[in-house]
């Protein structure tokens, strides 16, 4: 394990199940809003962010989309999670369109 106080980057992965009738425009908007979180350092600590639909539905267990965010540290993950723009996306764009609960995981990785 890394020494205490180390600042290893963190990968935040969320698998989502969207309702079948979620409009493509809504999904495009979600992608744009997530991308905007990194643009210009709007949410500090984001190294990379991507959102997209799976193309391998046979093994996706009903999950339709994934979000992957690379962050500078565990602390940056906490800032991201609490940031008002992130909370707004979750509250207004994600939750109303979910078919079921998401699956989220976070882990530290070496660059």
Backbone angles phi, psi at 14, to 5 degrees: -130, 125
pLDDT band at 14; cut points 50, 70, 90? very high
The stretch 30-38 carries a mean pLDDT of 97
Per-residue pLDDT, 32: 97
Per-residue pLDDT, 5: 56
Per-residue pLDDT, 73: 97
CA atoms of 37 and 83, how far apart (whole Å): 10
* Tens-digit pLDDT profile for residues 38-96: 998 899 999 999 999 999 999 999 999 999 999 999 999 999 999 999 999 999 999 99
CA atoms of 67 and 12, how far apart (whole Å): 8
What is the value of pTM for the model shown? 0.91
């Amino acid at each position: 394990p890394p020494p205490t106080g180390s600042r290893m980057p963190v990968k935040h992965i969320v698998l989502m199940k969207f309702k079948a009738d979620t409009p493509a425009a809504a999904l495009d908007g979600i992608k744009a809003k997530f991308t905007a979180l990194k643009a210009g350092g709007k949410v500090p600590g984001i190294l990379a962010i991507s959102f997209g639909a799976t193309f391998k539905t046979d093994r996706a267990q009903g999950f339709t989309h994934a979000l992957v965010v690379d962050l500078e540290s565990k602390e940056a993950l906490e800032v991201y999670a609490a940031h008002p723009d992130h909370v707004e996306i979750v509250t207004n764009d994600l939750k109303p369109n979910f078919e079921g609960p998401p699956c989220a995981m976070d882990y530290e990785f070496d660059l």
